[in-house]
């Protein structure tokens, strides 16, 4: 662990440095699909005029994804912001482990296969079925199914979670047909491979931050117990529910595939279960349900089957959850949160439930807990469970109220806050609601500007990825609602009341000679706090004070 040293020129402000993440608020094309541009945002408009205003990359290789065709997301965005360096992330790590064969040579895969060979039970796969590459990728599932068949696994069952959030709203049938074609091909030579259950990701299984354990309970009932509305096939289930309502894939009810003998794939003693999502936040609760003993109280699991369970990755290294996993997660060390804690700096992290883990766990390099509890305060403001398009302001005001009260009564060096509105409401596909969501964030950032002036602090404003900035697109002259993240850059600005022009200037070398991204923010933050960043951090975006004067 390298200790932080004082910056040779820059000094810390009298008040706190406020680091604001406007989740999902990117820089769009300014067209009719851009809810950010359509919103009334006097504060953001003013920030864009500051000398520090710029745009940062928040997707693709700049945040550790396999290619620039891949969207960023809140997990990798906060990882990259906190780490100050670009680490290969879940999607890239998994693709590499599959391509090299390393996944299949690992202990978890070999145990899963050996377990079902000995028991005669099925090898079960549970996960998000799409190519969104945010939580999972269908190609990873296909590769594992093909390998299982090649290694002599006789029975396999797939429990599919429908996306409609990181991909088109009603695209489930495309992925189901792709998967069914693979399963049909693999069913030769006496193998029995099929889809066993499914449902929308926002209705079953994929809860996060313990916001609604009922989702996980319903997923358990459908996947494990085989209890739910029955259909002959996944396609029939989706087509039937499409005809019954206008909801998108993510909100479809859970379903069970059954034949004349009953459900085709309940999870029984002797089975192996592989959760093929690589992203951790929406995989932790199901992992707990499988691995916890009698102390588990979140819902009634009934008779818990004796299975071998593994995740695609270890979703929480501190909790060692799950115990077995297929691919090693990124080893993110020396995050700025850890370095600041070791340097004795006082930190506040605050967000509503939807993004609380992002300003804590993900910001800290996928680490639970605090580095120094005496100097770190983490505050979670409970999110509503009501439909977000009906209340796009969410808990932004309450988060701001609590933040302002906290900094007025306790001294902090760094305050990090996430406003979830742009991302969470953007995922609904409701353009009007997304515009109001961005306006709610702008209002709250405006309140922080006043606090910064009064406390003689500094305000840094950015985003972790885009979303509300592209709410629809056209394909073959058809307008398609987007509920996924965008590939657009995100804003960056620093307001410093004590600086000339109320803002430091940007380093011409960083901005012009390279393409800056979220990884540059850690060194920038440390510099604003009067500290020199580690040499292997991506460089600060700021010009030195003497360069600014010149």
Active-site residues, by number, are: 74
- Quote the crossing angle between the two packed helices 90-100 and 138-150, to the nearest 10°: 30
Q: Do the Cβ atoms of 315 and 321 come closer than 8 Å?
A: yes
Q: Rounded to whole angstroms, how far apart are CA atoms 509 and 7?
A: 19
Bridge partners, 126 (sequence order): 159, 275
Q: Rounded to whole angstroms, how far apart are CA atoms 83 and 537?
A: 8
Q: Rounded to whole angstroms, how far apart are CA atoms 291 and 134?
A: 24
The owner of tokens 């089957």 is 305
Q: Rounded to whole angstroms, how far apart are CA atoms 542 and 524?
A: 7
Q: Rounded to whole angstroms, how far apart are CA atoms 414 and 347?
A: 5
Q: Rounded to whole angstroms, how far apart are CA atoms 444 and 439?
A: 9
- Quote the crossing angle between the two packed helices 172-186 and 234-244, to the nearest 10°: 160
Structure tokens at 371: 């580095």
Q: Rounded to whole angstroms, how far apart are CA atoms 492 and 507?
A: 13
Q: Which residues contact 282 (CB under 8 A, 6 or more apart)?
A: 135, 201, 206, 207, 208
Q: Which residues contact 409 (CB under 8 A, 6 or more apart)?
A: none
- Provide the Cα torsion 171, 172, 177, 178; round to 10°: 80
DSSP per-residue string spanning 97-109: HHHHSHHHHSHHH
DSSP per-residue string spanning 475-526: ETTEEEE--SPB---EEEEEE-TTSGGGSPPBPHHHHHHS--BGGGHHHHHH
Q: Rounded to whole angstroms, how far apart are CA atoms 119 and 132?
A: 34
Closest CA to 194 of 113, 116, 264: 264
Q: Do the Cβ atoms of 504 and 548 come closer than 8 Å?
A: yes
Q: Rounded to whole angstroms, how far apart are CA atoms 54 and 150?
A: 51
For the chain, counts of helices (H) and of strands (E): 19, 20
Q: Do the Cβ atoms of 491 and 21 come closer than 8 Å?
A: no
């Amino acid at each position: 662990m390298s200790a932080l040293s004082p910056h040779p020129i820059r000094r810390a402000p009298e008040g706190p440095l406020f680091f604001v993440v406007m989740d999902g608020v990117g820089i769009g094309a300014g067209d009719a699909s851009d809810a950010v541009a359509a919103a009334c945002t006097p504060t953001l408009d003013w920030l864009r005029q500051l000398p520090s205003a710029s745009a940062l990359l928040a997707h693709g290789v700049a945040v550790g994804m396999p290619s620039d065709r891949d969207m960023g997301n809140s997990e990798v965005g906060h990882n990259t912001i906190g780490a100050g360096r670009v680490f290969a992330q879940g999607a890239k790590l998994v693709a590499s482990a599959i391509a090299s064969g390393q996944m299949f040579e690992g202990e978890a895969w070999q145990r899963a296969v050996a377990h079902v060979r000995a028991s005669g039970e099925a090898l079960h796969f549970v996960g998000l079925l799409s190519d969104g590459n945010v939580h999972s990728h269908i190609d990873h599932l296909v590769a594992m199914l093909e390998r299982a068949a090649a290694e002599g696994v006789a029975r396999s069952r797939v429990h599919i979670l429908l996306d409609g959030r990181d991909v088109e709203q009603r695209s489930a049938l495309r992925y189901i047909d792709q998967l069914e074609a693979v399963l049909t091909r693999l069913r030769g030579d006496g193998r029995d491979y099929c889809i066993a259950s499914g449902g929308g990701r926002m209705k079953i299984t994929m809860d996060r931050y313990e916001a609604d354990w009922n989702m996980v309970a319903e997923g358990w009932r459908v996947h494990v117990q085989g209890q739910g509305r029955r259909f002959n096939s996944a396609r029939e289930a989706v087509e039937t529910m499409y005809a019954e309502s206008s909801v998108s894939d993510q909100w479809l009810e859970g379903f069970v595939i059954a034949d004349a003998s009953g459900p085709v794939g309940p999870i029984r003693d002797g089975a192996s279960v592989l959760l093929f999502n690589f992203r951790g936040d929406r995989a932790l609760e199901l992992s707990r349900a499988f691995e916890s003993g009698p102390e588990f109280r979140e819902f009634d699991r009934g008779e818990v089957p004796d299975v071998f369970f593994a995740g695609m990755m270890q979703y929480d290294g501190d909790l060692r959850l799950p115990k077995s996993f297929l691919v090693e997660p990124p080893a993110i060390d020396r995050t700025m949160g850890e370095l600041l804690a070791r340097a004795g700096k006082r930190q506040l992290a605050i967000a509503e439930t939807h993004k609380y883990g992002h300003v804590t766990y993900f910001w800290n390099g996928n680490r639970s807990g605090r580095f120094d509890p005496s100097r770190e305060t983490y505050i979670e403001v409970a999110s509503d469970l009501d439909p977000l398009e009906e209340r796009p302001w969410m808990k932004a005001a309450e988060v701001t109220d609590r933040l302002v009260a906290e900094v007025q009564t306790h001294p902090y060096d760094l305050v990090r806050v996430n406003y979830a509105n742009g991302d969470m409401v953007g995922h609904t596909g409701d353009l009007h609601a997304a515009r109001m969501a961005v306006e709610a964030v702008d209002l709250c950032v405006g309140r922080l500007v006043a606090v910064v002036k009064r406390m003689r602090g500094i305000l840094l404003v950015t985003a972790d990825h885009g979303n509300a900035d592209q709410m629809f697109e056209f394909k073959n002259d058809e307008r398609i609602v987007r509920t996924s993240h965008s590939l657009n850059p995100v804003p960056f600005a620093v307001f410093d009341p004590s600086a000339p022009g109320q803002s430091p200037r940007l380093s011409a070398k960083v901005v012009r000679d390279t393409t800056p991204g979220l990884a540059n923010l850690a060194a920038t933050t440390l510099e604003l706090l009067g500290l020199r960043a580690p040499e292997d951090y991506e460089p600060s975006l700021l010009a030195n004070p003497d360069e600014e004067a010149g």
